[in-house]
Amino acid sequence: MKLILLGIIISIAQLNGKEPEFYPLFNGKNLEGWEGVGGPTKNWKVKDEILSCTGEPGSSWIATKEKYTDFELRLQFKIPKDGNSGIFIRAPKQGAPWIAGLEIQVLDDYGDKWKNLKPNQFTGSIYAVQAPSIRATKKAGEWQTIRVRCIGSNCDVWVNDKHVVSGDLAVLAQKNPRVTGLQNNEGFIGLQNHSSPVHFRKIEIKRIGSKQQ
């Protein structure tokens, strides 16, 4: 019922020509609005308004129960030394979400474990597709911010308020046919369990009308 009412409010705002506002995807109390994909959610914990993945094996990635087309997503994350995670966008619930959908990488960029990675595998990248233009991350253990804005085939990413990716997904799809998610017009938002602890908070989104810029 809450989700239905929220959808009605957003639709009214769009009809009135008003820019929709951000609303929480994570309520700070539990996993309401989310579900496990590929396994149980036993390794996802909520405490003090923080959503944490323990990183232990045998657990799922989690996805929103609603699909999103054009949107702006923002959140805060904290990753430990050598930590690895990701944010899935326009992802289906079948297949590898970083291929059948898209992954915005979340990583301890300064971890020795990752020193030989390719540029398109560091934080803020469209994983394995487009590298961030600059390294904008902080050291492991600090809270950081990511903002992702997708309108049509345009995808922009900010890390700690620095604009690091401006991608044309249609062009990228021609160069990366293996990543079929580049062609998706909609899908679920997800958080990755990559056998590493990671913490998220203040996860918010707003839907964007197709004519809005």
- Alpha-carbon distances of 3 from 133, 179, 186, rounded to whole Å: 37, 31, 18
Beta bridge partners of 103: 88
CATH no. of 22-207: 2.60.120.560
- Contact indicator for 145, 202 with CB cutoff of 8 Å: no
Query: pLDDT tens digit string along 94-140?
Result: 999 999 999 999 999 999 999 999 999 999 999 999 999 999 999 99
| The model scores a pTM over 0.85 | yes
pLDDT at residue number 212: 37
Average pLDDT value for the chain: 91
- Contact indicator for 182, 168 with CB cutoff of 8 Å: no
pLDDT at residue number 17: 55
pLDDT at residue number 38: 87
DSSP state, 14? H
Segments making up each domain of the chain, as ranges: 22-207
- pLDDT tops 90 at residue 59: no
